[in-house]
Structure 1
């Protein structure tokens, strides 16, 4: 049985970044650009007014300018302005040829036919000159940039409909067990609702995965192999249940029957000891224990970094330290405990952790407020450390980023 660190190293050695694809701007949100993006033209492509007011061609000693008309955004002025002339102009409209500057309404007086400036001025004021934001052919977005709403705005301003990115993987979820009932169905005697499927789907969605298939399989070899074959389009396949020592825990056999290579089975961790990892070509299989907290831990620790790496993301370190009181680990396995972190990043006071110790791996109700995980290594032989407060390293869950304390 391997250690959690050995298991993670094995998993990460088998991950490859996905090939680039072109996606629509909306579908590319959260992905990384797979190549540099150059401006297809000068931007703005014309001298643009930045204010509602008057586009002016200087030359009037008295500061009075003849009003030649009105220019709205989306229209152009057919002739050049001459000295002493102005055009009433709206924000975003192209400045007529000959414009030296724009006076905003609040800096002028106008009687209809004439406009008089009442303030000092600078050449080019309130004008966004052609190419002032970027020039034709200039690299405006670097390869590896994450596509955010602002990046989408840049691409859309160039008229782009698609963008080359590293896509998120397609994920398939297989929930095993005849006793598991999908949402919306009534329970019969000895049945339970499926908690793992929706939980794993939500965790994948938080990582930017958009294509997620979900299906059920009974605890028999035919049903399991059929479900695995139906998941053949996915790069990441998650299986819950059927991976321990029971008579009907047939997932390892089903994986081998479909041609997958099992790279390890069982990890010295609690919860999640029966965790199995396999691969077939570029497809990765994660067989997670059926207990929800075991499945949650294994996804967080092993699947999350895989999905990040497939999308070309570096592995961030969402780690901090806090004060907690944790029972010494006498189990011989690495213990992972869910915890609730409380505190304020803006103060000198350390975070404090409420650790949900002693919960069974099927107990969801008492840990639903958890926002972090603490790794508790096995106690060394002869270690008689008492149950006392100390400084612990913890890792934030993805869901913690949705809370105010992450900001």
Structure 2
């Protein structure tokens, strides 16, 4: 028997088989979760004008130079208040020596301002303001263009857009965003043993949890998802549903790729012109994974995932996500691992590289990870207390508490 394909080789075959999707432009309010297809440069300065960062008084800091080193017994210097500027207003005059202008947070600074003294450090008596602490040049203000200059990089290509990215673009007046098209992903579960989650299983049957799992993962990864339901162990029915799924950018099938007599998926895929790239990888769980490509009339990447749910979860996180990152232009194509410290002594070992469900904790001063009790690839309930997985190389020795482990978050 030839050796199994190793994980890096499988990831490389997926990366080279996938090609970036086309670009489209979407309005800002529809861009959440999308991936930028071009670098985005600032069209203007940010902020657009010199402004106050807190309520107080715009002053010339040099007018207070003599107050350096004030003690509680020293008289507080005073300045003459000559105006008030609120946010949204435009200053009507510049600031002269010995003057102060009351100003609100976010309001434009009058010409001549070199600092803003916060309101809490002052006392107002009619048209005089008394300053009770020294204020350095540049205090409590921000200058035009201090955050962003015209032509400066805002976002790189391949950035998945989060709420803070959209807010930053809105601030700069960027309201149409070049993004990669959303990947379309179809899901088909196979097997006579499956029934929908809403039904009570009969003898020898189980509920189809994989469709819910994979659809949720795909939606979280930014896909448009098509659920094809359950195909029985009938070559004709399976072929018909596979034909529907091949219209998507990716087709995920669960079950039917191991060594059983009724594992019909590879046969049906071949009949529909899907070229096998590999079948079986040296990994636990997920060894039976199948990957291929339909090239005409449109490209569709096809994954045959094992029927056991934790195998499907691990294979999605490692292999399907690599394809999705490549389609969306995200770099690096293979998501990097997290370095985490073992929270406890870890004794797990196997003759195959293993991705073990784990709890990753970032609440302390360092990232830690620990395995959770797990009964194997069919033990979906164990994953309810996990948020990621730890990678254990084949035949790895036990890890002591505090040693570095490679971990992956599920997200």
Shift of 1:136: 2.3
Kept after mapping to 2: 8 A contact 1:236/1:283: yes
Alpha carbons of structure 1 residues 226 and 128: separation in structure 2 relative to 1, 3 Å: same
In structure 1, runs of 5+ residues without a counterpart are 380-387, 402-407
Output the CA distance in 2 between the equivalents of 1:158 and 1:42: 8
Match of 2:72 in 1: none
Kept after mapping to 1: 8 A contact 2:35/2:158: yes
Output the CA distance in 2 between the equivalents of 1:248 and 1:143: 45
Output the CA distance in 1 between the equivalents of 2:245 and 2:408: 27
Out of 11, 14, 23, the position equivalent to 1:11 is 14
Matched, 1:398 2:409: yes
Matched, 1:153 2:167: yes
Shift of 1:123: 4.3
Matched, 1:261 2:296: no
Out of 76, 84, 92, the position equivalent to 2:106 is 92
Shift of 1:24: 4.7
Shift of 1:328: 6.2
Match of 1:35 in 2: 38
Matched, 1:77 2:98: no
Task: Look up the SS of the partner of 1:4 in the other structure.
Answer: coil
Output the CA distance in 1 between the equivalents of 2:86 and 2:107: 6
Out of 281, 295, 314, the position equivalent to 1:297 is 314
Out of 307, 313, 328, the position equivalent to 2:331 is 313
Task: Look up the SS of the partner of 2:325 in the other structure.
Answer: helix
Match of 2:263 in 1: 249
Shift of 1:2: 5.4
Output the CA distance in 1 between the equivalents of 2:10 and 2:159: 30
Shift of 1:74: 1.5
Match of 2:225 in 1: 212
Q: Which residues of 2 match residues 40-119 of structure 1 at below 5 A? A: 40-56=43-59, 64-119=78-133
Kept after mapping to 1: 8 A contact 2:49/2:144: yes
Output the CA distance in 2 between the equivalents of 1:224 and 1:127: 67
Task: Look up the SS of the partner of 1:153 in the other structure.
Answer: helix
Match of 2:71 in 1: none
TM-score (norm 1): 0.77
Task: Look up the SS of the partner of 1:264 in the other structure.
Answer: strand
Q: Deviations over 1:279-309 (max 9, x none)?
A: 0133210011222233233323322322233
Worse-superposed segment, 221-230 or 67-76: 221-230
Task: Look up the SS of the partner of 2:267 in the other structure.
Answer: helix
Output the CA distance in 1 between the equivalents of 2:283 and 2:115: 70
Alpha carbons of structure 1 residues 131 and 249: separation in structure 2 relative to 1, 3 Å: same
Kept after mapping to 2: 8 A contact 1:58/1:84: no
Match of 1:200 in 2: 214
Alpha carbons of structure 1 residues 109 and 150: separation in structure 2 relative to 1, 3 Å: same
How well do the aligned residues superpose, as a CA RMSD in angstroms? 3.9
Kept after mapping to 1: 8 A contact 2:184/2:224: yes
Kept after mapping to 2: 8 A contact 1:33/1:145: yes
Shift of 1:198: 1.7
Shift of 1:59: 9.8
Alpha carbons of structure 1 residues 234 and 24: separation in structure 2 relative to 1, 3 Å: farther
Output the CA distance in 2 between the equivalents of 1:249 and 1:28: 41
Alpha carbons of structure 1 residues 185 and 162: separation in structure 2 relative to 1, 3 Å: farther
Alpha carbons of structure 1 residues 275 and 127: separation in structure 2 relative to 1, 3 Å: closer
